[in-house]
Structure formats: C-alpha cells, structure tokens
Amino acid sequence: MIWNYENLSEVLGITLPHSITANQIQFNSKDVTKGDLFIALQGNKDGHDYVQDAINQGAAAVIVSKPVNIADEDKIILVNDCFKALEKMAEYKRKHSKAKFIAITGSVGKTSTKEALKTVLQHDSLIFASRGNFNNHLGLLINLASMPDDIEFAIFELGMNHRGEIKELVQILKPNIAIVTNISEAHLEFFSALEDIAEAKCEVFESFSKNDIAIVNADTNCYDKILSILKKLSIDNIYSFGKSSSAELILYENLKDQVHLKYKINNKIIDIDLPFIPKHFAENYAGVLLIISILGKDLSKTAAHLVNIPMTQGRGEIITIENSRVICDYYNASPASMKAALEYLKQIPAENKTVIIGEMLELGQNSERLHQELMPYILDAGCSKVLLIGANTKYIYDSLPAEIMKKYFENVDELIKSMTDLFKNNELILIKGSRGVKLDKIIDYYNKLD
C-alpha cells in the first residue's frame, strides 16, 4: 500500500472515505492493475473519459476534477485540479522520504544505467526505480507519487531536449547523488554546440546541498566543461569513472557468447563474465559500480548481480525471427548511440550482416554531417546489406559503395510492404533509429504473422 485515506486527505486537503487505499499512480487506464490509483489528467485526451475503464481494470480509486458516473462513489476523489493534486502528492512523497535519491542523466545510456543500478542494489536494499522512460516532468511526478514510504534508495532517470528542463526536475527531486553518463550530439536541433548540451545536463547538480555527490564520465565530451560548471556551483564531492579515473574498465574481452570484464574501482579489481553485452553498456557499469563503492557496499558481492541485468525491449535485446537473429535497438537514436550500436554489430560474429537504419531526428543543421559520419561504422561492422528509412538517411545512401546492397525507403511502412523475406536469409540484423521513425512496427508486423 502506497496511499491511504489519511495521507491522501492530508495532501489534498479533503476528507476521504476510510475505505480508500491504493498503490501506484496511473494516468493511462490501460496501465492500471488491481489496487492502483487512477488520475484523470487532461492532455490530447481527457482522462475523465477513461475513468470507467480504469475501474474495470481494478483501480482502487480515481482522482477527478469533475463529476463522473461510476457505481461505487466511495472510489471517487474529487479535486479542483488533477495536475495540481499530482504535484502535491509527489512533493509529499519526496518531503517525507528518508531514501537516498540518485539521479541519472546523459545523452545516451540513462535507462540501461538505471536498470543496472536497480538490479545490483535490489538484492540487499529496498529500492524504487522510475518506470520505463518516464523521465520528463509528468513522468517524475507520477513516479514520485508512486513511491512507497520505506524505500532506502530511489533511482530516477532525467531527460531533456531544452535548456531548463532538468533544472525544473531537480527542484522537485533534490537528488543526493547525480551521475552524467555522457554528452553527445543528441538534440542538437535545440542547441548550438555540445557545450550547451553539457550545460543543460549539468542542471542536474543545481539543487545540490553541501554533502551531495556528483559523478561524471571522464571519457565523455566536454568533461573539462562539466568540471568548470561544478566548480562554479561550489560542488566538492566529485567522482569520475573512465579510462583515466578512479573507476575504470580495464578489459572488455569477447568470449563467443560472453564477455569478460575487469574493473578497477578505487584500486579494487573486479573480474566478471557476463552474457554478451555492448561495450558501452560495460563502460556505464563502471559508473554503477562506483556508486556501489560510494554507498559502502560489498563490491564483489554486488558485481556478481550484473549477470542478472536484462536487455530491455527495444534497447539492444537480441531475438530470433524466422532464420535470423535481430538486435532490437529501435527505441531511440543519437549519433553516439548509433555508432555504439554499429560497434556492437561488429563485435557479434556472423557471416551475413544487415543493418536497418532509421533517420536520427532533432539534429538540425548538423543532420547531414552526422548521418554521413556513420559511414565508417557501417563499413567496419561488415554489413553486406543496408536498408535506410527516412529523408536524412539519403545522405548515407548516396555515399555507400557499390558492392553493398542498399535500399532506401521514405518510411517504415514502405519497407514492410517491400521486404517480405526480410528475416528468411540467416542473417544478423541490427534495427536502429529514432523513436519517431517507428521501427518497432517491423517487429510488430512479423510477430503478427506467427
């Protein structure tokens, strides 16, 4: 139980029936499970239209700002403004929590780092981690308001594509530890230079108090810029990870379907074998283990749990369709994550390799250059076939050598209609592109055929 009539009455300033108890907060009726609390927010759709659906799904109660017609009126919590009610609930949970709050931001790797930290901490601690990719303002409020009271560590990823967004988030979250995984060209449409992106990401440190801890990837772009920002903010508790820092990935060695990793964390050596993972995942795990060390936990014992980290859907998971293995990395794409995915494709042995590339969005005037910069990575990965989707991938299509089989499609639906034998040729196929290109439709289409 996360909410009851007492704390909800206190937060919302109204008297509620004693029967009300609820679990996590949901604003999409499809996500409601038994015991959840549904809040009727207004956006492109009016949440009030889905109150009955939420009740049918098992909602314990519903927060609404106008009258609704449901059979059990004791489940109705009527407020003046649902969004303001959500803000009050999130603020209440943060104020009353005794947990240590950990914020994760960066251009790429936020979710994989969050999931890794969640996996290694949950074996001996009560933890809460933000759901899915709920990393914007609404997502932060929903997650905070869904947090149990007895949590020891709360892990949140924070995203942005404009200056000031993270600053707004940390005024609410007030993290005790914040990590910047990296700085890359993601969202360059909204920024004039990488240094501007670094400044926006460093807003994660702006709510810090004296004893809070900053953790930075020393190998990322703009590392010196980040350090100068931390100095201006008078932040002294700074740790770094990377090849030249106290937390270091010393070895990444392919062992067929496994990798052998060796880390040096504050002069302690950690050796571990894991199922095959991309090198950039392994690099971010150095940051995770550094956090574990800072928290004073047993590094060797904790590192053993890295083997249990799942590849999440759309973020590098390898599945089999018909006669081919498919690397599903279509959740989103930036130049850095695209290059990392192509390096991952290179690492996996296969006679026939195909890459399906959806255009990278939000790159502004840098789009042509950044798409063309993928060429050496495509060639180095050993791709014999390249399928390109979206206007900006024409820059790649026009530069590919003649010996590589290539096709260009305006959109993903065009590819699906044309490539009926896509997975029948015993290939290793990487699917990678920005979320807006909707490359997940490829997998959905073939799953429906089964």
pLDDT at 62 over 90: yes
**Paired residues of 274 in beta bridges:** 259
Has domain 317-449 been given CATH number 3.10.310.30?
no
- CA 186 – CA 161 distance, rounded (Å): 8
Report pLDDT digits (tens) over 334-375: 888 899 899 989 988 888 999 999 999 888 888 999 999 999
pLDDT exceeds cutoff 80 at 450: no
Strand ranges, E, within 33-175: 37-39, 61-64, 76-78, 100-105, 127-129, 153-157
pLDDT at 203: 97
**Measuring CA to CA, how many Å separate 56 from each of 1, 284, 308?**
20, 42, 35
pLDDT at 355: 96
Bridge partners, 25 (sequence order): 37
Write down the pLDDT at residue 349. Answer: 85
**What is residue 187's predicted lDDT score, i.e. its pLDDT?**
62
Checking if the pLDDT of 148 tops 80, the result is: yes
Look at residue 269 in the predicted model and tell me its pLDDT.
95
Q: Whole-model pTM above 0.85?
A: yes
Mean pLDDT (the chain, rounded): 92
418-447: pLDDT as tens digits: 888 888 888 999 999 998 999 999 988 887
Task: Report pLDDT digits (tens) over 65-113.
Answer: 999 989 889 999 999 999 999 999 999 999 999 999 999 999 888 888 9
pLDDT at 245: 85
Report the pLDDT value the prediction gives residue 333, as an integer from 0 to 100: 86
Q: Evaluate if residue 379 carries a pLDDT over 90.
A: yes
Please state, as a whole number, how many other Cβ atoms lie within 10 Å of the Cβ of residue 171. Answer: 11
> Three-state DSSP class for 77?
strand
More confident residue, 274 or 39: 39
**Around Cβ 277, how many Cβ atoms within 10 Å?**
21
Q: Distance of CA 411 to CAs 302, 370, 384, 387, 393, Å?
A: 44, 20, 21, 11, 11
Name the residue ranges covered by the structural domains of the chain. Answer: 3-80, 97-308, 317-449
Other Cβ atoms within 10 Å of 25 Cβ, number: 25
Assigned architecture for domain 97-308: 3-Layer(aba) Sandwich (3.40)
CB atoms within 10 A of CB 262: 14
Question: DSSP of 299-315, one letter per residue?
Answer: HHHHHGGGGGPPPPTTT
* Predicted confidence (pLDDT) at residue 314 exceeds the cutoff of 90: no
Q: What is the pLDDT of residue 227?
A: 97
More confident residue, 436 or 315: 436
Topology given in CATH for the domain delimited by 3-80? 3.40.1390
Q: How far apart are CA 249 and CA 239, in angstroms?
A: 15
pLDDT digits (tens, 9 = 90+) for 225-248: 999 999 999 999 999 999 878 888
Mean pLDDT (whole number) for 50-67: 96
Assigned token pair, 394: 């024409």
What are 318's two structure tokens?
């390898």
| Residue 435 in tokens | 């979320």
- pLDDT value, residue 432: 95
Q: Which of 3-12, 246-255, 309-318 has the highest mean pLDDT?
A: 3-12
- Same CATH topology for 3-80 and 97-308: the answer is no
